[in-house]
Amino acid sequence: MEHLHTFLQQVINGVSLGSIYALIALGYTMVYGIIKLINFAHGDIYMVGAYIGFFAITKLNMTFIPALVTAMVFCAVLGIIIERVAYKPLRNSTRIAALITAIGVSLFLEYTGMLIVTPQPRAFPDVIPQTKFNFFSGSVYITNQQAVIFIVAVVLMFLLQYIVYKTKIGKAMRAVSYDKDTALLMGVNVNTTISATFAIGSSLAAAAGILVGIYYTSISPLMGIVPGLKAFVAAVLGGIGSIPGAAVGGLLMGVIEAMVSGYWSSTLRDAVAFGILILILIIRPSGIFGSNVREKV
């Protein structure tokens, strides 16, 4: 029975972790879907979100929801700026050029962050004091923080689906991701649509950043690198360009990671994450929910 409890606990741990990956993966998948760019800097926007939330709470004395909204708005704007400055000029360049620029932006955010807030990790204030919900007399438990993360991720995902499938801007996003030039010809304001996509994706990352701050307490300027890469793997796993795919991919990645840590060795976690990526890319590049796009000559 103990083994079952341990397993259940690992699953719960995995789902919490996975929810965070899912939130970040949603941003990746949206941006990729619309301009076919892997926004390397996405993980760092998540970091910026965490720090904005940190300063909002500690210096401006905001509570959880206002801080969350502040961070999301700030990062939405940051995302738009980055897109305008660094990615827009390269919209018609080679993919290599765009990818290299994205790497540059990522490094810029990380090291400027280090310069501004120093490399020392900060402790995120306890805005959601932890309470545990125990099951099976304590051997399995869920904290309210884990529940909040999961709920927020799910809510945001449904919100995103709504925006993309039921609003005009969402229709524009789908059009641009299908065929940019034709959408332009049909009168869609491509620039605005792309900016909106970045804004939404970045705000989701910011939300993830704050939730991580609350859940894991410590934040540092380089905190975005590894989760960023793993979230990317999650997006690919679920099918890049697919919103439900990103969510499912994120949750799967989280659970797999928890299993690897719990039953094998946590130091090989990263290797396993990348291993999954490579396997998916080789076996089924379109991911779980993606559709096979044939390259036209």
**Least distance CB 34 / another protein (angstroms):** 14
Q: Which is nearer to another protein, 73 or 99 (CB)?
A: 99
209 Cβ partners below 8 Å, 6+ apart? 45, 46, 47, 48, 49, 50, 51, 53, 71, 75, 219, 224
**Least distance CB 183 / another protein (angstroms):** 22
Q: Which is nearer to another protein, 158 or 264 (CB)?
A: 264
Q: How far is CA 206 from CA 9, 213, 218, in A?
A: 27, 11, 15
Copy the structure tokens of residue 160.
């995103």
Give dist(CA 150, CA 155) in Å, integer: 9
**Least distance CB 33 / another protein (angstroms):** 13
What is the number of residues in the chain? 297
Q: Which is nearer to another protein, 16 or 172 (CB)?
A: 16
Q: Which is nearer to another protein, 65 or 92 (CB)?
A: 92
User: 141 has which bridge partners?
Assistant: 134
Q: Which is nearer to another protein, 144 or 167 (CB)?
A: 144
Give dist(CA 78, CA 57) in Å, integer: 20
**Least distance CB 288 / another protein (angstroms):** 16
Q: Which is nearer to another protein, 85 or 186 (CB)?
A: 85
**Element containing residue 166 per DSSP (H, E):** helix 144-166
**Least distance CB 266 / another protein (angstroms):** 5
- Residues 186 and 99 sit within 8 Å (Cβ to Cβ): no
**Least distance CB 70 / another protein (angstroms):** 21
